[in-house]
Amino acid sequence: MANTPTKPVLASPRTAEKLLDIYFLDMRSALLETAATLDRIERAENGSDIFRDPRIGKLVEACEILKDGKKNRAEQFLVLFSDPLE
Amino acid sequence: MKVIEPHIHMIARTTQDYERMVRMHTVACCEPAFWAGYDRTSSQAFFDYFTHISEFEPTRAAQYQIEHYCWICINPKEADDLVLAREVISFIPEFLHKPTVLGIGEIGLNLNTVNEMTIFQEQVELALKYEQLIWIHTPHLKDKLKGTRMMLDYLKGHGKVNPEKVCFDHCEEHTLKMIVDAGFWAAMTIYPVTKNSPPRVVDALETYGIDHMLVDASGDWGPSDPGTLHDAIFEMKKRGHKEEHMETVFYNNPCYFLGQCKKFRPSPSLPKEKAWAV
């Protein structure tokens, strides 16, 4: 179970627009590296078969976290890749 | 601004790292006892390792005007062998009186086994018996959430453990809240791939606040860099945070936690009630 969000207690002095300006290219780069790495794996021998590996499935699930609009994306991501508590 | 590195394995680093750290205003560093990159073949190897980090590293660091402190324990990666672990535990007390030993650490879990948990509990008892601070290693990757919960539940239910004297290290977004809500100190480690990045560390400070929070760069024998601690300071500057808040996280907070051991000499620039009032 993911932790519930808490309010920021050291508020960011920057506006959301400014933070997007700062981090947009970093985010674009991180996603591009993931896309290129999947292409690299697929080009290799047995490339199409490896996409059945559960680790790839987890990555696809992680992409859903980005899309669902809920907060605490990083926390949800880490919980997805964790052993269950029980 | 002065900086304290709360967790770094200097035995695995070159003197050039000490040079870089002092140029970046690092005044003290702390070395928890941990895995050497291979399993040691006898308890005597641990005795020699403890001697190295409690006697030789302080002299090496002193050449660069850095105070070197250490923690002593049987680490979780080698704690599954109960016979070996108990042999090591038997001579830990003779190191605890040394002038740079801060407490018992980094104890904890690696694969969350029954034996690891047994040795974790035995070393918690050792710390309580000798009134020592405790530094906890939380597991990596998929084992972190469960392992952190196991140790936290044990300590919360113990009845004699003061959370103020215990720090959980290698915290990430999915483990921070349970730790800070229980009143323990939380440290975040900046380490490529398996732990935190400087931006995520600052995200956590914005989310959970700066009280009871530490940041470390965890340089060791793997790909890692003591300079990433200072990358996190730059990240706070980039986001427009006040220098007094940076000083709280990277200097005063280590003083507040580690200073509970009277052997730790650096002193904070502010009382913590003032430093934590954001």
A43-82 pLDDT per residue, tens: 999 998 999 999 999 999 999 999 887 889 999 999 999 9
Residue A74 lies in a domain: yes
Tell me the two tokens of residue B266: 């650096």
Q: Does residue A71 form part of some domain?
A: yes
C-beta atoms of A10 and B205 within 8 A: yes
Nearest to B199 by CA among B160, B173, B165, B226: B173
Q: How confident is the model at residue B183 (pLDDT cuts 50, 70, 90)?
A: very high
Instruction: Give pLDDT tens digits for B80-111.
Output: 999 999 999 999 999 999 999 999 999 999 99
Q: For residue A35, is it within any domain? A: yes
- Indicate if A68 and A85 belong to the same structural domain: yes
B206 CB neighbours in chain A (<8 A) are 8-12
| Residue A6 reports pLDDT greater than 80 | no
A25, A80, A82, best to mutate vs chain B, most B CBs in 10 Å: A82
Task: Tell whether A80 is covered by a domain.
Answer: yes
**How crowded is the C-beta side of A61, counted as CA atoms within 13 Å?**
12
Total structural domains within chain B: 1
**Residue A39 and residue A58 in one domain:** no
User: Residues A39, A59: one domain?
Assistant: no
Using the structure block, give the residue that is written with the tokens 């690696």: B110
Residue B191 reports pLDDT greater than 70: yes
pLDDT at A15 over 60: yes
Residue A8 lies in a domain: no
The two structure tokens encoding residue B91: 């001579």
Residues A86 and A61 placed together within one structural domain of the fold? yes
Number of structural domains chain A divides into? 2
Q: Which domain holds residue B195?
A: 3-275
Residue A17 burial by Cβ neighbours in a 10 Å radius (0-12, 13-18, 19+): exposed
Q: Using one digit for the tens of pLDDT, what is the confidence trace for B11-48?
A: 999 999 999 999 999 999 999 999 999 999 999 999 99
Distances (CA, A) of B24 to A59, B170, B226: 38, 23, 10
Instruction: Give the pLDDT score at B194.
Output: 86
Question: Would residue A75 count as lying in a domain?
Answer: yes
| Neighbour tally for B65: CB within 10 Å | 10
Q: Mutate which of B152, B173, B234, B253 to test chain A, going by most A C-beta atoms within 10 A?
A: B173
Decide if A48 contacts A39 (C-beta within 8 A): no
Per-residue tokens: A62: 């992680």
Residues A57, A39 share a domain: no
B28 bridge partner residues: B4, B67
Which amino acid is present at B269?
S
> Does residue A10 sit within a domain?
no
Closest Cβ–Cβ partner in A9, A12, A14 for B209? A9
Residues A64 and A84 in one domain: yes
Is B185's pLDDT higher than 60? Answer: yes
User: Is the model's pLDDT at B147 over the cut of 60?
Assistant: yes
CA angle A85, A79, A32 (to 5 degrees): 155
Name the average pLDDT for chain B: 97
Weakest-pLDDT range from A3-12, B180-189, B264-273: A3-12
Classify residue A42: in a domain, yes or no. Answer: yes
Q: Is the pLDDT of residue B140 over 80?
A: yes
Q: What is the CATH number of the domain that holds B140?
A: 3.20.20.140
Higher pLDDT, B167 or A9: B167
Domain region containing A65: 53-86
**pLDDT number for residue A68:** 84
Q: How many CB atoms lie within 10 A of CB A5?
A: 12
Q: How far apart are CA B132 and CA B251, in angstroms?
A: 21
Asked if residue A42 and residue A60 are part of one domain, the reply reads no
Euclidean distance between CA atoms B186 and B163, whole angstroms: 10
In this prediction, residue A7 carries a pLDDT of 53
Chain B neighbors of A74, CB-CB under 8 A:
173, 200, 203
| Percent of chain B topping pLDDT 70 | 100
DSSP three-state, residue A7: coil
Binding-face residues of A in 7-66 toward B, CB within 8 A? 8-14, 19, 22-23, 26
Quick one: tokens of A32? 């591009």
Q: What is the reported pLDDT for A8?
A: 60
pLDDT single digits (tens) B106-138: 999 999 999 999 999 999 999 999 999 999 999
**Interface touch B241/A75, C-beta < 8 Å:** no
Do residues A57 and A85 both lie within one domain?
A: yes
Identify any residues that bridge with B29 across adjacent strands, giving them in sequence order: B5, B68
